[in-house]
Amino acid sequence: MSDFDAGTGATAGGSAALAAAQAQLKKIKKQKVLLMGKSGSGKSSMRSIIFSNYVAKDTRRLGATIDIDLSHVKFLGNLTLNLWDCGGQEAFMENYLSQQRSHVFSNVGVLIYVFDIKSGEWERDLGTYVNIISALVQYSREAQVFILIHKMDLVARNHREADYEAAVAAVRRKTAEACAIVRRLRNDSGAATKLSSSSSQQPPGGSSSGAGDLDLDVDVQFFATSIWDQSLYKAWASIIHDLVPNLPIIETQLASLGQAVDADEILLFERTSFLVVSKWTSQEGDSNPYGDRFERMSNILKAWKHTCSSFTGTPRNAEQFSDFEYRMGTSFSMFVTKFTTNTFILVCLPPGEARFNSAKLNVAAARPWFKYLDGPVVPPGSSQGPGVPAGSGYGGGGGGGAGEMGMGPPEN
């Protein structure tokens, strides 16, 4: 397959590194992402907003998800997210935990668990959560877990922080409990059930458990979200951030591009979801008081796309604009433009016509540097990439990855 052609064609310099990169590419090409949480907590709504270009108020139309809604989300061309939107009604939940247990919970790359902050039965939700986490740890112990405390818009502004902190503390406690349960079970049935996976790339964040032989602690990340503001984009940008292949190289390249064009900030967006894939900020740009500006940009541009689609009558998933320029007098200039097949780039610059025009040309000229964003192409040579994607902690796909090798390069 062309994966291999690309590999053999590259310089011999980093052949070992290349092989490693290829292996990793294959592994994470198709990531199984579980989206779980109790019924009505907003799983399908957020999925529709992020990946299907719904606006928040359109989600009122969505009905309850029955069983598991499988979707393959193409992300950056060569990465397919296998999104399992699991209906949250109790009957389904029980089914996932019993009959479908191994089917649902094996080879999971990421689990996204959604809590409704306004849920009336918080204890019960936590109980279900413990069961889910136990099952996850049992079958895919290297999966990443993201907890979204959702519907924050329904909490009065002055209580938001306190309520969120309380929820996070409770979930943390329950996560530890779930791990403890599994550990005990495993010790009972004899520690010989060590998984065959020899991956030694446990995320550094995961602290090792007391026993030492089996690291069962789950690394959990928390986000407060609402579909009515940009917080949703923040959470999802972090979720996909670690799934992006070749990320260290992209970041290095983006930094050199930023320095070359004298930019203050560069953001790289995925084409359909407008999630921030990578970003670079200059020293001056760092003093920007808007810490949430990345997700805000996603939100603004996404809303704009929606307006365009109702104006032009084109489908909302279609591309809506190709170029955007904005010069704000002596304050700043910026442009957003289609960059590679699967990405858009936003460049924020200091003011000045000459600077603006040359930056536009330079960004266009830099496109080839980022070619491998769109296909399974490994960057050539070691000159560009001292950091060939070192293991970023995805053993989760394990054996499953090999099965997907047959996939050709994504069509454009």
Partner 1 sequence: MSSSSAPGAGDPVPIDDGDRPSRPRPVRFISPAVLNLHRVYEQDQQRIQNKDGVKVPDPTVAQVKGKPRLLIMGQKGSGKSSISSVVFHKLPAAETLFMESTARIQKDSLNSFMEFQVWDFPGQIDIFNNPSYSFDLDAIFGEVGALIWVIDALDDYSESISRLNMTVVHLQRSYPHITIEVLVHKVDSLTEDYRGEIVREVELRTLDELGDLGVENAPISFHLTSIYNHSIFEAFSKVIQKLIPRLGQLEAMLTSLCRTCRFEKAYLFDVNTKIYIASDSTPEDTTSYVICSDYVDVIIDLTEVYGSWPRSQQWRDRLEGEPFNQTLEEQVGCEWAESVMVLADSKRPIMLREVDRFLALVAIMKEGSYDKMAQINMNVDVVVKGLTDFFEITRAGEKSRTGQEMVGQLPQN
Residues at the site binding partner 1, with contacts judged by CB under 8 A: 264-265, 284, 287-290, 293, 296-297, 300-301, 303-304, 307-308, 310-312, 314, 318-332, 334, 348, 350-355
CA torsion through residues 165, 171, 174, 178, sign? negative
Nearer to partner 1 by Cβ, of 178 and 301: the residue is 301
Nearer to partner 1 by Cβ, of 186 and 293: the residue is 293
Long-range contacts made by residues 362-370, C-beta under 8 angstroms, separation at least 24? 362/257, 362/260, 362/261, 363/257, 363/261, 363/335, 363/337, 363/339, 364/337, 366/253, 366/257, 366/260, 367/339, 367/340, 369/253, 369/257, 370/250, 370/253, 370/339, 370/340, 370/343
Nearer to partner 1 by Cβ, of 288 and 383: the residue is 288
The conformation of residue 44, written as its DSSP 8-state character, comes to H
Residue 392, helix vs strand vs coil: coil
Name the nearest CA neighbour of 230 among 295, 280, 297, 310: 295
The conformation of residue 275, written as its DSSP 8-state character, comes to -
* Cβ contact 88:150 at 8 Å: no
* Cβ contact 41:115 at 8 Å: yes
CA count, 13 A, side-chain hemisphere, 120? 1
CB of 345 to partner 1, least distance (A): 15
CB of 364 to partner 1, least distance (A): 14
Nearer to partner 1 by Cβ, of 149 and 347: the residue is 347
Q: Work out the angle at residue 77's Cα, subtended by the Cα atoms of residues 319 and 267, and round it to the nearest 5 degrees.
A: 65
The conformation of residue 334, written as its DSSP 8-state character, comes to E
CB of 310 to partner 1, least distance (A): 7
CB of 235 to partner 1, least distance (A): 19
Q: Which residue type sits at 174?
A: K
Nearer to partner 1 by Cβ, of 34 and 349: the residue is 349
CB of 53 to partner 1, least distance (A): 14
CB of 355 to partner 1, least distance (A): 7
CB of 184 to partner 1, least distance (A): 49
CB of 308 to partner 1, least distance (A): 6
Q: At what angle do helices 353-365 and 247-261 cross, to 10 degrees?
A: 150
Nearer to partner 1 by Cβ, of 318 and 390: the residue is 318
Nearer to partner 1 by Cβ, of 352 and 380: the residue is 352
Nearer to partner 1 by Cβ, of 188 and 323: the residue is 323
- Scanning 106-244, the segments in alpha helix (DSSP H) are 122-139, 160-188, 231-241
